Amino acid sequence: MDRRKFLSVVTGMAGTTIGLGMVKAGLDLTASPKPTLKVTYQVKGFTCITCATGLEVILLRERGVVRAAASYPDARVVIEFDENLTSEDKLKEVIAGCGFAVA
Provide the β-strand partners of residue 41: 77
pLDDT the model gives residue 65: 97
Pairwise CA distance, residues 44 & 39, whole Å: 16
Contact status, residue 35 vs residue 84, Cβ threshold 8 Å: yes
CB hemisphere CA count around 60 (13 angstroms)? 16
CB atoms within 10 A of CB 72: 16
pLDDT tens per residue across span 43-81: 999 999 999 999 999 999 999 999 999 999 999 999 999
Cβ contacts of residue 34 below 8 Å, gap of 6+?
66, 82, 84
The pTM of the full predicted model, rounded to 2 decimals, is 0.70
pLDDT tens per residue across span 12-36: 654 444 444 444 445 555 555 667 8
All structural domains of the chain, each given as residue ranges with its CATH number in brackets, are 3-102 (3.30.70.100)
pLDDT the model gives residue 2: 62
